[in-house]
Amino acid sequence: MSAVGLLGEIAGVGRGRGGYSRHVFDRAEGELRAWFAERAERIGLDVETDRNGNLWAWWGTPGPDALVTGSHLDSVPGGGAFDGPLGVVSALDAVAALQAEGFRPGKPLAVLVFAEEEGGRFGVPCLGSRLLTGSIDAGKARALRDQDGVTFAEAAARAGFDPERFGRDEVALSRIGTFLELHVEQGRGLVDLGSPVAVGSTVIAHGRWRFSFSGQGNHAGATLMGDRHDPMVPAAAVVAAARRIASKVEGARATVGRLIPRPGGTNVIASTVDLWLDARVTGEDRVRPLVDEIADAAGKAAAEEGCEIRLSEESYGGTVAFDAGLREELRALLGGAPELPTGAGHDAAILSGHTRAGMLYVRNPTGISHAPEEFAEDEDVEHGARALAEALRHLST
């Protein structure tokens, strides 16, 4: 039951030509949930699903001050094989390795799989951990819609969950003494440092904003250029402003990765365009001022084109520094492993506002993530699982 072997077992699930698409409550994700439960039960863990659709596998009786480790099984659209699943298979591998040597944890230990970490279906990232901690309103979460107009509540109900029970889960939250998430690195930090594993230091402030432009749908050939109210024009201004403005701010990244024109015909001027801006800045929280500047440019472009603009913040998380004591313990335990900041968001960052939390990263030789090229060598995967086992041994005694 090596981490590499476990990854191999799910390699075919949700895989398409353009990478993996495993979204909360869809068929592939359901298959992964069943696989996880079966695999966890096989090593004697008790599997339960909490009120928010997160999966827990307990080694010992669930209780307070538990040591919890895990990650997520969902992906972005067209994602890689490691983002999320690596933390889950490493946790199962580490628990099995500790069991095999007769180790008995001195406190309850659980493997946790968070729901909808990527926000790949309903737009808000870390939805499972945000609901668990109460950092998103349950009613707002229930009303989120996927691309087909299905609400999160409807999708949950179809998958056998009761959406009325969504919301801050005091019982589950009070059990977590420490949360440790292992994750594939999503940049080239470890390649440059020449190390297979690092301890997470900080997660940069980041958020997602939705720009909705409406204009006048019309004929692409019959409408003179001066007569148009084309919402694609201010949408394009957002893309250009995001690049221009973020390039001037040190440590900033701004991305438009999703844009939906409606009705979406080649010979049709769109009547509406929705686009999503992902913005992040290192250091102090300077994300909202950056987005304000981009929004100003968008507002001017919309006015010039005679279009309406609506802007809404879909998610936001400030800069997070993982628990300093835990970082020190992990570094000492892993032979002085380097510390690494990340530009990616994680459930561990959401939990860090509520409990002691930390992260381990495993080297990704391509430095590419959220794409099929995301990778980790078998040797590094095994190294990561062993490092996690060491951490669990140390932190649970």
Report the binding-site residues for Zn(2+): 72, 83, 118, 183, 370
Q: How many degrees, rounded to 5, is the angle at CA 196 between CA 335 and CA 391?
A: 50
Q: Which is nearer to Zn ion, 112 or 235 (CB)?
A: 112
50 binds Zn ion (CB under 5 A): no
Answer yes or no whether residue 120 interacts with Zn ion by CB under 5 A: no
79 binds Zn ion (CB under 5 A): no
Q: Which stretch binds Zn ion (CB under 5 A): 32-40, 77-85, 127-135, 237-245?
A: 77-85
- For the annotated binding site, the residues are 72, 83, 118, 183, 208, 267, 280, 370
Minimum CB distance to Zn ion smaller for 39 or for 370 = 370
Buried b vs exposed e over 370-385: b needs ≥16 C-beta within 10 Å?
bebebbbeeebbbbbb
**Distances, alpha carbon 207 to alpha carbons 125, 274, 344, 395, in Å:** 9, 17, 11, 32
Q: Which of 74, 83, 181, 230 binds Zn ion (CB under 5 A)?
A: 83
Check residue 347 for interaction with Zn ion (CB under 5 A).
no
**Phi, psi of 320, rounded to the nearest 5 degrees:** -120, 130
Q: How far is the CB of 68 from Zn ion (least distance, A)?
A: 16
Residues forming the annotated binding site for allantoate?
A: 208, 267, 280
Residues in binding contact with Zn ion, number by CB under 5 A: 2
Span of 34-42, 79-87, 222-230, 312-320 interacting with Zn ion by CB under 5 A: 79-87
Complex with Zn ion: residue 83 or 185, whichever CB lies closer:
83
The residue (of 83 and 305) whose beta carbon lies closer to Zn ion is 83
Residue whose beta carbon is closest to Zn ion: 83
Q: Which is nearer to Zn ion, 232 or 359 (CB)?
A: 359
Nearer to Zn ion, 228 or 346 (CB): 346
Query: Least separation, in Å, of the C-beta of 94 and Zn ion?
Result: 18
Candidates 81-89, 132-140, 283-291, 377-385; binding stretch for Zn ion (CB under 5 A): 81-89
Is residue 374 within the footprint of Zn ion (CB under 5 A)?
no
- Shortest distance, position 84 Cβ to Zn ion, whole Å: 5
Closest CB 120 distance from Zn ion, rounded Å: 11
Give the interface segment with Zn ion, choosing from 84-92, 124-132, 165-173, 309-317 (CB under 5 A): 84-92
**Based on CB atoms, which residue is closest to Zn ion, 84 or 231?**
84
Applying CB under 5 A, does 84 fall inside the site for Zn ion?
Answer: yes
Task: Output 84 or 341, the one with its CB closest to Zn ion.
Answer: 84
Binding of Zn ion by 70 (CB under 5 A) = no
Binding footprint of Zn ion on the chain (CB under 5 A): 83-84
